[in-house]
C-alpha cells in the first residue's frame, strides 16, 4: 500500500570533542559527502533534524537554523526529539512522510554538541530526561539506572563483571579501526575490569562517551531511488516500543519490555527472524545495555547473553556481529546523531565500505539497528535489506 | 496510494495561567474527553507529544513522561518540536505514519506550561529560537521581529495602527465567548489603539499571550474511522514551508515566503482554492501576523488585507471567518498546544459545537489551519474536509 523507502546516501562527521566546530558546522560536515555524491540541495524535498537536547547549545528550534546553514532554508523541516532514540524516531517520522507520498526525498540529519558544557553539566542535562518529580530530585542519573540493571542481572543469572569487560574490549577493538570514532584505542581486559568505578558495578569502561558529532542519511521513495544510487538499502521493518517511565514500575530489570515489543514488531513487518540478521548496531550506552540487547533482540535466550560474549559470536566474523564500528562506547554517543550514525554504519557495511578490512562484515544482506532512549522508555528497531 | 486519514476526536484544556496544574495534569485534562468518548488507551497505537520548549519545565524527553501519565506507557511515542508550529508539525508526522500504514490510530497531544517562569524569562526562552549567534545577542526578540514587519507594511501600503487594533478587537470579541480562552474579555477599539507600547508600532493588545494549556486530537486511518465517529474530519491537504533563518535575508517583510509556499502546496494537494475555504485558524502571534496571513493564504490580494478587516469579512458571519475562538491573542498561545488547538477548533466548528451561537460559523465543509513558527522559518498549512 505505502511506497517502499530506501536509504540512498549518508554522511558522517568525525566524532569526538569537537571544540573546532559548532552545531551548524558539525551538521554541514555530515551533509557535505551527500552533496559531493551529487545529491544536491535542490533534490531534497524536506528534512528532519534529530537533535536531542537544546540545553547544550542554548539554541532553540534548531531545525530552522541548520536547514538555513546547509542550504535547505526554503524546504519544510522539523525537529524530532526522543532522548537517545532521537535519530531513529526522526527516521521513523521521515519514513512515514515519504512512504505516504508527501515527499519523495528527505534528509534526516542528527547532531549533538555536548562538550561545550562541563561533563558534570552534561550529566545533569541528561538526568533531566528522568522523571523530574520522582527520580531526578533523589539523585538518580543514567549510570545509576543501568547499574541497577547490571546488579539485577548479576543477581539473577550469576554473571560477573568479566562479561561486561569483554564487551568493552570488543567495542574498543573495533573503535580503534574506525577513523570516525571518538576514542579509537584498544583496551585490555584488565583495564576494562579494573577501571575507576562510576556507579558500581559499572566502571569507566562500561559507560559510553559524551561526544560531539553529526550523521546524516537521505531516504527516497521507490520510484526515485535509481536517480541516486544503484545500491539502495531498503527499510524493511520498523518497530517501536516504550516502557514504563519509572524503572521501579517494571516487572523485570534484566530486559527492556519496549525493546522486545519493538523487535517483534520490526521482525514481523520485515518477515524475518533473529537468525536471519547478519549484523546489528545496538544501543550500548552502557555495556550492560548491549548484553540485554542480545537477549531482547532474540540473538540469545534470557540469561544466555554472557555465553554469546564468551564465544565471541558478537565479533565481525562471528554469528551475529554487533557494533563493529566501536558502538556508543568507543565511537561515541552524540545523542541526536547516534541513531542516524547506526543507520549509516549498516549502509557502509552492506556496501562493503567499512574503513578497515578487519572490521568489515562479510555479505550483509540484512542489518538491524536497535536504539534505546532513557532507560528504555523509547525504543526503535529498524531492519534494513540490501537492494542489489 | 496512501490511506486517507481523519481527525476523529479531540480534547482541550482550559487555557490560562494554570498554576493549579503541571504539564502532566494539563495533558491529562486535554486527553480525558477523548477517553470519555470511548477512545480508551487500548485503542491508540502510538502517540506524538507536541511540546516546544523543555526549558520552561526543565523536564527533558517529555513524551515518555506524558505517555506514562496518561496510560500509554507501553505504546510508541516521540516528541516533535518546531517552535510555534510544533502542533501541526506533530500532526504532519503522525499523518505520515498513519497514512503509510505503520499505525491505524494515533494521538497527537500538544502542551506547554509557560507561567512557572517569569514573563521576562519566558520571553528570553522564546528569543532563543532566534539565531543565537547573529540575532539574540543583539537583543532582538519576537515582538521586535513582528514590529519590523508591521513598520514595513505601514510604509509600503499606508496602513495605520487602526487596522491592527480592529483585529485585536475581533479576537477579544470571540475569545470572550470561548470558555477555554485565557483572556475572555471584550476590548474597545480605543483600548486596542492606545495600550502601552511593547515594541513600536505593536502595543499590548497586538501581542499574543504567555499561556499554559493543552489540546489533543486523535487521527485514524480510513478503514478504522467508523469505529470512532460518524463525523470524521478528513485531512485533505497538507503544505509545509520554510523561510530564511534571519529576517534580514528576506526579500520582503510584508509576506512570509514559507507561508505562501505551504498554502499553495496544501491547496494543490486538497484540490481546492482559497475561495472554497469556509473558515480559517491563522497564526496571530501578533495582529500583524494575522493580517499578513490573509494575504499569504490568498484571502486578500497583497496590500488589501486591511480592506478585509475594514469590511469585517473576518467575522463569523463574514466571507472568511478567522480565529472565531479568540486566536492566540485572546484564547492564548501555549506553544506546543497551539497548532493542535487550531485543529480542534476546526473540528468543533465543523460539528456545529462552538460553545456559543454567536461564534458558531455556518456550514463549515472546508476549514484551514495556518501555523507559523518563529518569524516564518516554519509554516504548516492543513486543509480539513467535513466527512458527513
Q: Does residue B216 form part of some domain?
A: yes
Cα–Cα distances (Å) from B251 to B246, B247, B257, B277, in that order, read 11, 9, 9, 29
Single pTM value for the model = 0.97
ipTM > 0.90 for the complex: yes
Whether B45 is covered by a domain: the verdict is yes
Q: Which of A83, A99, A240 sits opposite B61 (nearest CB)?
A: A83
**Side-chain half-sphere exposure of A154, counting CA atoms within 13 A:** 15
Compute the half-sphere exposure of residue B368: CA atoms within 13 Å on the CB side of its CA: 33
Q: Report which DSSP code applies to B112.
A: E
Task: Give the model confidence (pLDDT) of A84-129 as tens digits.
Answer: 999 999 999 999 999 999 999 999 999 999 998 888 888 888 888 8
SS3 per-residue string spanning chain A: CCCCEEEEEEEECCCECCCCCCHHHHHHHHHHHHHHCCCCHHHCCEEEEECCCHHHCCCCCHHHHHHHHCCCCCCCEEEEEECECHHHHHHHHHHHHHHCCCCCEEEEEEEECCCCCCHHHHHHHHHCCCCCCCCHHHCCCHHHHHHHHHHHHHHHHCCCHHHHHHHHHHHHHHHCCCCCCCCCCCCCHHHHHHCCEEECCEEHHHECCCCEEEEEEEEEECCCHHHHCCCCEEEEEEEEECCCCCHHHCCCCCCCHHHHHHHHHHHHHHCCCHHHCCEEECCCCEHHHHHHHHHHCCCCCCCCHHHHHHCCCCCCCCCCCECCCCHHHHCCCCHHHHHHHHHHHHHHHHCCCCCCCCCCCCCCCEEEEEEEECCCCEEEEEEEEECC
Q: What is the pLDDT of residues A199-238, one digit of tens each?
A: 999 999 999 999 999 999 999 999 999 999 999 999 999 9
A58: left (phi over 0), alpha (psi -120 to 50) or beta: left
Number of domains in chain A: 1
Q: Which domain holds residue A54?
A: 5-117+210-228
Give B110's strand partners.
B50, B215
| B52 located within any domain | yes
pLDDT < 70 stretches in chain A: 1
A315 vs A165: CA distance, rounded Å:
15
**How far, in Å, CA of B144 to CA of B193, rounded?**
18
Task: Give the three-class secondary structure for B187.
Answer: coil
- Which residues are registered as beta bridge partners of A106? A46, A219
What count of other Cβ atoms lies within 10 Å of the Cβ of residue A185?
Answer: 10
Q: What is the pLDDT along chain B (388 residues), one digit of tens a residue?
A: 699 999 999 999 999 999 999 999 999 999 999 999 999 999 999 999 999 987 787 777 789 999 999 999 889 999 999 999 999 999 999 999 999 999 999 999 999 999 988 888 888 888 888 888 888 888 888 999 999 999 999 999 999 999 999 999 999 999 999 999 999 999 999 999 999 999 999 999 999 999 999 999 999 999 999 999 999 999 999 999 999 988 889 999 999 999 999 999 999 999 999 999 999 999 999 999 999 999 999 999 999 999 999 999 999 999 999 999 999 999 999 999 999 999 999 999 999 999 888 999 999 999 999 999 999 999 999 999 999 9
Residue B54 and residue A55: Cβ atoms within 8 Å? yes
- Rounded Cα distance between A189 and A373, Å, is 28
Q: Is residue A32 part of a domain?
A: yes
Backbone φ/ψ region at B179: left (φ over 0), alpha (ψ -120 to 50), beta: alpha
Residue of chain B minimizing CA distance to A86:
B78
Whether residue B375 is contained in a domain is answered as no
Residues of A in contact with B59 (CB under 8 A): 128, 132
Contacts of A65 in chain B (CB under 8 A): 131-132, 245
A380: Cβ–Cβ under 8 A, 6 or more apart, which residues? A82, A85, A88, A89, A91, A92, A238, A239, A240, A262, A339, A369, A370, A371, B76
**Through-space distance between the first and last CA atoms of chain B, rounded to whole angstroms:** 23
**Catalytic choice (B182, B283, B316, B333):** B333
Residue A122 lies in a domain: no
Look at residue B388 and tell me if it is in a domain.
no
Q: How many Å separate Cα A60 from the centre of its chain? A: 23
**Cα separation of B363 and B381, whole Å?**
21
Among A54, A68, A242, select the one facing B77 at the smallest CB separation: A242
Q: How far is B75 from chain A (nearest CA, A)?
A: 5
Select from A268, A312, A45 the least CA-distant residue to A163. Answer: A312
Q: Distance (Å, rounded) from C-alpha A135 to C-alpha A132?
A: 6
**Any idea what the CATH number is for the domain that residue B25 is in?**
3.40.47.10
Interface test with A, best of B102, B131, B252 (most A CBs within 10 A): B102
The whole-angstrom distance between A238's CA and the closest CA on chain B is 8
Whether A223 is covered by a domain: the verdict is: yes
Active-site position among B12, B84, B172, B285? B84
Which positions of A are catalytic? 84, 333
CA nearest to B78, candidates A67, A258, A162: A258
Q: What pLDDT score was predicted for residue A150?
A: 98
Please list the alpha-helical segments (H only) found in B141-286: 142-157, 161-175, 189-194, 225-228, 257-270
Active site residue B199: no
Chain B CB contacts of A126 below 8 Å = 60
Amino acid at each position: 500500500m505505502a511506497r517502499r523507502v530506501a536509504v540512498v546516501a549518508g554522511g558522517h562527521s568525525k566524532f569526538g570533542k569537537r571544540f573546532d566546530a559548532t552545531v551548524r558546522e558539525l551538521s554541514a560536515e555530515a551533509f557535505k559527502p551527500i552533496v559531493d555524491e551529487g545529491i544536491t540541495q535542490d533534490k531534497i524535498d524536506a528534512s528532519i533534524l534529530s537533535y536531542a537536547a537544546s540545553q547544550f547549545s542554548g539554541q532553540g528550534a534548531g531545525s530552522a537554523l541548520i536547514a538555513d546553514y546547509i542550504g535547505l532554508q526554503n524546504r519544510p523541516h522539523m525537529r524530532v526529539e526522543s532522548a537517545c532514540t532521537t535519530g531513529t524516531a526522526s527516521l521513523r517520522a521521515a519514513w512515514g512522510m515519504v512512504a505516504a507520498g508527501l515527499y519523495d526525498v528527505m534528509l534526516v540529519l542528527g547532531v549533538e554538541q555536548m562538550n561545550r558544557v562541563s561533563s558534570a553539566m552534561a550529566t545533569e542535562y541528561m538526568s533531566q530526561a528522568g522523571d523530574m518529580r520522582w527520580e531526578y530530585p533523589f539523585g538518580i542519573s543514567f549510570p545509576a539506572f543501568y547499574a541497577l540493571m547490571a546488579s539485577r542481572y548479576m543477581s539473577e543469572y550469576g554473571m560477573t563483571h568479566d562479561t561486561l569487560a569483554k564487551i568493552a574490549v570488543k567495542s574498543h577493538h573495533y573503535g580503534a579501526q574506525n577513523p570516525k570514532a571518538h576514542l579509537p584505542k584498544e583496551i585490555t581486559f584488565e583495564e576494562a575490569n579494573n577501571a575507576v568505578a562510576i556507579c558500581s558495578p559499572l566502571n569507566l569502561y562500561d559507560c559510553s562517551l559524551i561526544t560531539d558529532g553529526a550523521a546524516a542519511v537521505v531516504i527516497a521513495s521507490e520510484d526515485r531511488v535509481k536517480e541516486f544510487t544503484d545500491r539502495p538499502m531498503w527499510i524493511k521493518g520498523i518497530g517501536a516500543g516504550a516502557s514504563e517511565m519509572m524503572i521501579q514500575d517494571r516487572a523485570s530489570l534484566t530486559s527492556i519490555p519496549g525493546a522486545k515489543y519493538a523487535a517483534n514488531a520490526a521482525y514481523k513487518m520485515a518477515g524475518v527472524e533473529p537468525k536471519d540478521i547478519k549484523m546489528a548496531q545496538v544501543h550500548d550506552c552502557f555495556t550492560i545495555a548491549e548484553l540485554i540487547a542480545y537477549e531482547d533482540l532474540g540473538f540469545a535466550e534470557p540469561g544466555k547473553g554472557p555465553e554469546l560474549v564468551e564465544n565471541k559470536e558478537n565479533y565481525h566474523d562471528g554469528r551475529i556481529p554487533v557494533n563493529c564500528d566501536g558502538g556508543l562506547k568507543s565511537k561515541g554517543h552524540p545523542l541526536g546523531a547516534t541513531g542516524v550514525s547506526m543507520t549509516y554504519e549498516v549502509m557502509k557495511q552492506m556496501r562493503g565500505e567499512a574503513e578497515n578490512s578487519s572490521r568489515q562484515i562479510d555479505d550483509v544482506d540484512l542489518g538491524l539497528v536497535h536504539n534505546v532512549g532513557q532507560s528504555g522508555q523509547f525504543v526503535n528497531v529498524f531492519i534494513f535489506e540490501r537492494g542489489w
